[in-house]
Amino acid sequence: MKRLFSLIVLFSFFQSAAQLKPSDSIRLENLLKQMTLEEKIGQMNMYTGNIFGDDPVFTADFKYDDLKNGRVGAVLNVNGIKNTRLLQEMALQSRLKIPLLFGNDVLHGLHLLFPIPLAEAASWDIGLMEKTARIAAIESSARGNNWFFQPMVDITHDPRWGRVMEGAGEDPYLGSLIAAARVKGYQGNKLGDTNSVMATAKHFAAYGAAVGGRDYNTVDMSNQELWNVYLPPFKAAAEAGASSFMNSFNTLNGVPTTASSYLQRDILKGVWGFKGFVVSDWGSVGDMIAHGYVKDAAGAALASVTAGVDMDMEDQIYKKQLPRLVADGKVPVELIDDAVRRILAKKFELGLFDDPFKFIKEERWQKAINNPAHIATAREMAGKSIVLLKNEVPKGRTSPVLPLSKNVKTIALIGPHIMSVRENLGFWSPWWPDDSARIITQYQGIKNKVSRGTTLLYAKGCEVSDTSTAGFAEAVRIARQADVVIMSMGEQYDMSGESRSRSDITFPGVQEALIKAVYATGTPIVMLINAGRPLVFDWAADHVPAILYTWWLGTTAGGAIGDVLFGDYNPSGKLPITFPRSVGQIPIFYNHLSTGKPPKNDSVAYYRTGYIDLMQNPKFAFGHGLSYTTFEYSSLKMSDSIIKSGESVRVSLSVTNTGKVSGEETVQLYLRDRVASIVRPVKELKDFKKVVLKPGEAQTVIFEITPDKLAFYNEQGKLITEPGEFDIMIGSASDDIRLKGKFELEG
């Protein structure tokens, strides 16, 4: 064991040295030599600031004392320039003057709020997601935050899980691209640049597979499922240079991830060569007692530090238990040195030893939060996150409901979110009051678009989730007077998020009854659905002619919604996660296995993997999203139909805008490995291209099917490729395949 730990330390010495300037590497080693054990363990200890306000910044005096005596390495939830400066000054009173890291959950912007991450994922615009991450870093790094607990890269198949709003949906390929983009956005060109902050890939690992979608719940899965579905976005984040990883609250196959040497040492720090440090989630070290994995705090500290958790968030277990464990020889000091070296290396990389106050600059803060280009980016991202689920010709009309004319005579605005302010921002946006003046409500967004001759009528109709129908009559009355109704329905902002799993993901309260009452007037309805997750709205989806999924779009929500409603932006969003027909259909996802009895249709018994009381397919499929125009796919060509190992297949096709307005299409490439030693999904997203086309314009789209796109992990976590036939499917959605082909990989 001792030899193993010496190897770990040697490895980490060279790793941290590898990423630092030689002078900083020498400074780090000299500093480490001077540190007492208590000071070393202090670097592995993180405290939270006052999450209920900014004064006092710590709610317990011992935290101040620990800070001044070098027993704290990082803090989180400390906001504002005054408090950040205060704590940094205290940290510099310690003997060795080691500066603090300041972490925060800047999930989708700090002051200026972008769409929630799941909404951004619906844009499939990787470059734009990197850009919004960059802006969040520019803002936050001027206000003291130099460490984001983002990106959250958990794949999930379960929309009952409240944290689905934090991630990128169900697909490993899309999730991996987004993970890397966000890491690059946060960290910029390199750590140490003025507005570069550390990124954290979380929650490591498989947190999104909690049984029943119930937060913090148990996770059990095969190794090949872990490697092929849940680990790829983490691997992508590590390869993109993420500075830290955060472990998750769940057990994985009976072991709390906080104590998983397999995840943290074998895979992350071993196979993937991760040079940063691992931070526990809030109290996840101590949680191991409740898990029944250890009997006491000493056991929790031993299990965590041995498994590779370098920093303990908020539960003081490392601070209280590690000194004794080291004294008793149960934790070799080399392990402590490895953890401390990793943490200090990041502080040197950030430049904190050269200027501990570099991230606390009022003038930079003011410049960042008043940059019109940032607002424009937020509005662009909000528009691109909107998914047009449906847009049909209502009874008695000759054209689809959307886009609306700006000269409509009378519009009835109905629903609990038409006037909402806070709701547009979703969960994990605690600092929203700082920027509340700039939030564009949906009402305002619509009002800004329509002509002076348009009359806007408004009735809330109902609350988000109470039982009163008292507002129905007024809603019905104004619907009857209008040429079109816009209804804005959905969740409360905090019905999705951490510890917000829901057993029933239909519209809360009496919303569906309100929709039915307004529908009965016969006035065509456009419905906006605001939520942090896929909701189940079977009746509305079958009856309402036009539906836009508007998630939680952030500060510019109303503006972006107005842009789409009135055609100033032609919606291009595509679902990053499957929408089930009912809760009973969960889990349902596109990249499933075939089974031995693949469904023929809904009526053939014994050949269905669905239910006798429900259609087989989901309500809306992964990759689904309509446009105000139409696109035709044609002329599929392949460079080869038989390839050898290591060779690629070039696929080209033509995409034509066959409608009357310009639009953006996300052309999706799916593959199926027909026969394999571990059966492969019926289709897997392996590439996509976004094309913007004017009416009548055609563009050639080219995909390179490279060898890596044919590989999969076996149960040992080894990436392998097996010869055989591969199907090519190219389409506008996973259930809207327009062109097919196939090729063979020779043995």
What are the two backbone dihedrals, phi and then psi, of residue 565, each rounded to the nearest 5 degrees? Answer: -55, -40
Beta-bridge mates of residue 413: 458, 486
Q: Which is nearer to ligand GLC, 160 or 619 (CB)?
A: 160
Quick one: which of 353, 276, 279, 313 has its CA closest to 99?
A: 353
Least separation in angstroms between CB 205 and ligand GLC: 13
Alpha-carbon gap, residue 86 to 90, rounded angstroms: 6
Does residue number 552 form part of the binding site for ligand GLC (CB under 6 A)?
no
Q: Which is nearer to ligand GLC, 19 or 200 (CB)?
A: 200
Alpha-carbon gap, residue 241 to 235, rounded angstroms: 10
Among 47, 149, 432, 551, indicate the residue that binds ligand GLC (CB under 6 A). 149
Does residue number 726 form part of the binding site for ligand GLC (CB under 6 A)?
no
Residues 27-86 that bind ligand GLC (CB under 6 A): 76
Least separation in angstroms between CB 217 and ligand GLC: 14
Q: Is 281 a catalytic residue?
A: yes
Q: Which is nearer to ligand GLC, 427 or 713 (CB)?
A: 427
Edge-to-edge strand ranges of the sheet holding 642-643:
642-643, 736-745, 724-733, 663-673, 684-693
Query: With contact defined as beta carbons under 8 Å apart, do 171 and 98 qualify?
Result: no
In 3-state terms, what secondary structure has residue 664? strand
Least separation in angstroms between CB 211 and ligand GLC: 18
Query: With contact defined as beta carbons under 8 Å apart, do 75 and 48 qualify?
Result: yes
Helix axes 126-140 and 362-369, enclosed angle (nearest 10): 140
Residues 481-510 that bind ligand GLC (CB under 6 A): 498
Query: With contact defined as beta carbons under 8 Å apart, do 551 and 424 qualify?
Result: no
Query: Looking at beta carbons, which residue is closest to ligand GLC?
Result: 149
Does residue number 265 form part of the binding site for ligand GLC (CB under 6 A)?
no
DSSP string spanning 566-624? TTSS------SS-B-SSGGG-S--SS----SS----SS-TTS-SSBTTB-SS-SB-TT-
Alpha-carbon gap, residue 550 to 530, rounded angstroms: 5
Least separation in angstroms between CB 281 and ligand GLC: 5
Active-site entry in 66, 105, 171, 281? 281
Does residue number 282 form part of the binding site for ligand GLC (CB under 6 A)?
yes
Residues 76-105 that bind ligand GLC (CB under 6 A): 76, 105
Q: Which is nearer to ligand GLC, 54 or 498 (CB)?
A: 498
Q: Which is nearer to ligand GLC, 150 or 228 (CB)?
A: 150
Least separation in angstroms between CB 45 and ligand GLC: 15
Query: With contact defined as beta carbons under 8 Å apart, do 703 and 689 qualify?
Result: yes
Alpha-carbon gap, residue 264 to 660, rounded angstroms: 53
Residues 103-132 that bind ligand GLC (CB under 6 A): 105
Residue 334: what residue type?
A: E
Query: With contact defined as beta carbons under 8 Å apart, do 70 and 94 qualify?
Result: yes
Least separation in angstroms between CB 152 and ligand GLC: 6
Q: Which string of x and - marks every residue 192-211 that binds ligand GLC (by CB under 6 A)?
A: ----------x---------
Q: Which is nearer to ligand GLC, 149 or 551 (CB)?
A: 149
Beta-bridge mates of residue 45: 312
Least separation in angstroms between CB 393 and ligand GLC: 45
Q: Which is nearer to ligand GLC, 191 or 313 (CB)?
A: 313
Does residue number 281 form part of the binding site for ligand GLC (CB under 6 A)?
yes
Positions marked catalytic: 281
Contact residues for ligand GLC (CB under 6 A)?
Answer: 76, 105, 149, 202, 281-282, 498
